[in-house]
Amino acid sequence: MSKLTSLTYNAFQFAAIQFQKKSNFWEIGRGGGKSTAFGRVIADQVMAMPRSIGICVGSSYTQILTRTLPSTIHGLEMHGIYKDLHYFVGRKAPEKWGFPEPYMPPLNYKYALHFWNGAVLLLVSQDRPGTGRGLNSDWVLADEAGLLDKTALDNDVRLTCRGSNREAFLGIPQFEREFYATSTPVTARGDWWFEMEQTAIEQPDNSLFLRCPSHVNLQNLGKDYFKRLKATLYPHTYRAEILCERIKKVKDCFYPLYDEKLHTYVNYNYNYYDKLIQGSKPTCLGDADILRDKPLILGVDWGAAINCLCVAQLEPAQLTFLKSMFVLDKNKKIIDDLAKDFCTYYAPHRNKMVYLCYDNTGNNRQANSYLTYAQQFSNILKASGWKVITRTKGGTNPRHSLKYQIWNSILREEETEREVPRVRFNRENCRELLVSMGNAKSKTDKGYIQKDKSSERKLELRQHATDLSDAADSIINNLGESWVKGQRVQEPIFLA
């Protein structure tokens, strides 16, 4: 094995490495050096306990494979531990290499890192219920811990940290250690995190809680990093993600009854993802929530800086938001690109019918074209074999106060309103839509509730402004005012 690379740790990394306890919680701003700290921790755990079993837990395998794993590989490399030399990802090391196996070998190494001394790090996700159950692990770590469900974490992961071979590891300081890292949680799902800080205060011999803004890594990030993010991120996102300020919710939110725990879910078709060729772009075949023989509802919002859409389906008892998509003018992308992205992703969908919802600006002809926005978008879909039914016929747009009432009627989910279908959002596929809705403020103008659209003028990161929430509003508008009174939906065409 190569020597560990010479590194200079910042204050957070030094404390995380030197002052470890059995339970370690790191609340660290983006860019604060978490990946480097994780790389050192994994290296220490592996070297201290050959043939041990570690668990890396995430909210979904998509999160683990696309965000956590690449940064982990980089963090290990910084400490002189290299992929395909000192460990293998997604497979057992070749027999000729002579890597031993852990004391309790996994049945399948597909979601595992197999190290030179027989230690294994298993990748466990919460969107596959029970994947951590039945294991006997020796150490645990989790990135983006603020996205984890605390009950599932306790039952499926933390209870497994009881040792794969207690006789071999008992007395080793690294045995049964846990490491959890996150930026400051901004949704109710992460409320459990703040309880861990109190636990650390009450049990200082057993728990360590570190909280550091991104500026702890200023020497490596530079001042321009913070200037750029401050201009790019929504203000409360910057305060939470960079400064580690604890901000629960946007004041006077336009969607005040939205509850992440109640209204969101994750549902992947992992039979598809298990077979997906590395480097291939996923399609809707990876979504287990889509009704493959039912039409799709598209809510589209047009604009110069951003064009965006959200995809939904309606059943008698539920309106499901399946996915959100967007393209940005600064990336030289226009309406045509958004339409093509939709056609590519949903090419395998069996029912090639869409109901197109948008605000009335979509019926205006563009200055440099004979086509309206809606026609331009529809023509590309039709050329790919889709039948497009336009649901916006003209006239004036519905008042914001009406949208506000309809959303509240849906999100409230009171028993007296069960004739109104509930709404659910795919938390992973609608990530930007949910940020947009969470950022949307309300204001009062002449006695009416209005959506505050100022973020569309201020934000460089436009997918976090109100545009995507407007796309979702377009679908809600087309479902009828009867929802305000809790009556049955009078739009059976969506249920075709």
**pLDDT of 325-357, one tens digit each?**
999 988 889 999 999 999 999 999 999 999 999
In the chain, CATH 3.30.420.240 sits at 260-495
Mean pLDDT of 274-300: 87
In the chain, CATH 3.40.50.300 sits at 11-232
Residue 124 has pLDDT above 50, yes or no: yes
Who has greater pLDDT, 207 or 108?
207
Residue 12 has pLDDT above 80, yes or no: yes
The whole model's pTM is what?
Answer: 0.67
Q: What is the mean pLDDT of the chain?
A: 86
The confidence score (pLDDT) of residue 367 equals: 60
Dist. CA 325–CA 80, nearest whole Å: 39
Residue 247 has pLDDT above 80, yes or no: no
The confidence score (pLDDT) of residue 203 equals: 93
Dist. CA 449–CA 403, nearest whole Å: 9
Residue 58 has pLDDT above 50, yes or no: yes
Fold of 260-495: Nucleotidyltransferase; domain 5 (3.30.420)
For the chain, percent of residues with pLDDT exceeding 70: 87
Residue 275 has pLDDT above 90, yes or no: no
Residue 403 has pLDDT above 50, yes or no: yes
Residue 251 has pLDDT above 80, yes or no: no
The confidence score (pLDDT) of residue 461 equals: 65
Q: Can you read off the two tokens belonging to residue 164?
A: 């794969």
Q: Where are the beta strands (DSSP E) in 353-489?
A: 353-358, 387-390, 422-426, 441-445, 448-452
The confidence score (pLDDT) of residue 399 equals: 76
Query: In 3D, which of 472, 127, 187, 432 has the Cα closest to residue 319?
Result: 472
Who has greater pLDDT, 131 or 20?
20
Cβ proximity of 179 and 38 under 8 Å: yes
Residue 173 has pLDDT above 50, yes or no: yes
Architecture of the 11-232 domain? 3-Layer(aba) Sandwich (3.40)
Cβ proximity of 213 and 30 under 8 Å: no
Please give the helix or strand (H or E) that residue 301 lies within, else none. Answer: strand 296-301
Dist. CA 142–CA 180, nearest whole Å: 5
The confidence score (pLDDT) of residue 491 equals: 44
The confidence score (pLDDT) of residue 250 equals: 65
* Number of C-beta neighbours around residue 381 at 10 A: 20
The confidence score (pLDDT) of residue 2 equals: 44
The confidence score (pLDDT) of residue 131 equals: 55
Cβ proximity of 317 and 424 under 8 Å: no
Residue 398's pLDDT band (cuts 50, 70, 90): low
Q: Which of 153-157, 215-219, 411-415 has the lowest mean pLDDT?
A: 411-415
For the chain, percent of residues with pLDDT exceeding 90: 51
Cβ proximity of 75 and 42 under 8 Å: yes
Please give the helix or strand (H or E) that residue 401 lies within, else none. Answer: helix 400-412
Mean pLDDT of 375-379: 94
Q: Which of 60-69, 163-172, 301-310, 348-357 has the lowest mean pLDDT?
A: 60-69
The confidence score (pLDDT) of residue 394 equals: 64
Dist. CA 487–CA 479, nearest whole Å: 11
The confidence score (pLDDT) of residue 1 equals: 44
The confidence score (pLDDT) of residue 470 equals: 93
User: Which residues are paired to 450 by β-bridges?
Assistant: 443
Q: Which of 39-43, 131-135, 335-339 has the lowest mean pLDDT?
A: 131-135
Mean pLDDT of 186-208: 88
Residue 489's pLDDT band (cuts 50, 70, 90): very low
Residue 248's pLDDT band (cuts 50, 70, 90): low
Dist. CA 112–CA 430, nearest whole Å: 28
Axis-axis angle for helices 69-78, 34-48 (nearest 10): 70
Please give the helix or strand (H or E) that residue 219 lies within, else none. Answer: helix 218-221
Dist. CA 36–CA 41, nearest whole Å: 9
Dist. CA 384–CA 391, nearest whole Å: 20
Residue 113 has pLDDT above 60, yes or no: yes
Dist. CA 129–CA 110, nearest whole Å: 17
Mean pLDDT of 490-495: 42
Dist. CA 266–CA 61, nearest whole Å: 11
Q: pLDDT tens-digit profile of 447-488? A: 778 888 887 776 556 777 889 999 999 998 877 544 544 444
Mean pLDDT of 256-264: 87
Write the DSSP string, 32-96.
SSHHHHHHHHHHHHHHHSTT-EEEEEES-HHHIIIIIHHHHHHHHHHTT--BTTTEEESSPPPGG
Query: In 3D, which of 68, 72, 27 has the Cα closest to residue 45?
Result: 72
